[in-house]
Amino acid sequence: MTTDVLARQTLVLNRHWQPIHVTSVVRALTMLWNEAAQVVEPDEYRLYGWHEWSELTPPLDAPCIRTAHRRLRVPEVVCLTHYDRVPSKAVAFSRRNVAKRDHHTCQYCGVQPGWDRITIDHIIPRSRGGTSSWLNCVAACPECNAIKADRTPEQAGMHLRRRPTRPDWKPFHAIHDGAIASWSRFVNDAPSLALA
Ligand SMILES: [Zn+2]
């Protein structure tokens, strides 16, 4: 149970309450302990430092870390005390994010081979000068990737189901499948979150 709780994530706001990224519960608690952040109680928007937070008696149904003497409520949202980092506007290019943009779906045959099997295809192969970029990379199942091999789609007689784009999603919705309901009070109209 404690392991599940520690696998949860915490939304991080900067001093101006703009969401900047999502971090692990462990990291959030470390920031709280170090006074680098305060917990934002999402119902009342009250701020708590470590001492106040650790003295609270959490509701019975709240996710908690249990210690010998008390239950420590897992923070859902924290607010940085010093740092004024601004929200990132760009979504980082990575294999993981290409797969997410394409909904883990092979862009040639439409199968969903699973998170661990999905591959990234360079539409114009790297050997022909194709770049690793949003517009030249798509998710592909291993079978289609092997068939296409070192060819362009035209040469391989394969068709893309849609033209790849640079994502303009709100990663809060797209990335964090385990997003917590209370975060929506802080991320409305927010610029894209960093994928940290
Ligand atoms: Zn395929």
Ligand 1 centroid to Cα of residue 142, in Å, is 7
> Rounded to two decimals, what is the model's pTM?
0.53
Residues of the chain within CATH 1.10.30.50 domain(s) are: 95-156
Which amino acid would we find at residue 128?
R
pLDDT at 192: 44
pLDDT at 90: 66
Nearest Cα to Cα of residue 43 among 195, 192, 190, 181 = 181
Per-residue confidence of the chain (196 residues) as pLDDT tens digits? 456 788 888 988 888 888 888 888 999 999 999 999 999 988 888 999 999 999 988 888 888 888 788 889 999 999 999 866 666 666 778 888 899 889 999 999 999 999 899 999 999 999 999 999 999 999 999 999 999 999 999 999 999 999 998 876 554 443 455 567 777 777 754 444 443 3
Ligand 1 centroid to Cα of residue 147, in Å, is 9
- Contact at 8 Å (CB) between 84 and 18? no
Ligand 1 centroid to Cα of residue 121, in Å, is 10
List the CATH code of the domain at 95-156: 1.10.30.50
Q: What is the pLDDT of residues 58-78, one digit of tens each?
A: 888 888 888 788 889 999 999
Burial zone of 67 (CB within 10 Å; 0-12 exposed, 13-18 middle, 19+ buried): exposed
Ligand 1 centroid to Cα of residue 152, in Å, is 15
Ligand 1 centroid to Cα of residue 109, in Å, is 4
Is the backbone of residue 110 left (phi > 0), alpha (psi -120 to 50) or beta?
left
Ligand 1 centroid to Cα of residue 118, in Å, is 9
pLDDT at 70: 83
Ligand 1 centroid to Cα of residue 145, in Å, is 7
Report how far residue 169's alpha carbon sits from residue 134's, in angstroms, rounded to the nearest whole number.
13
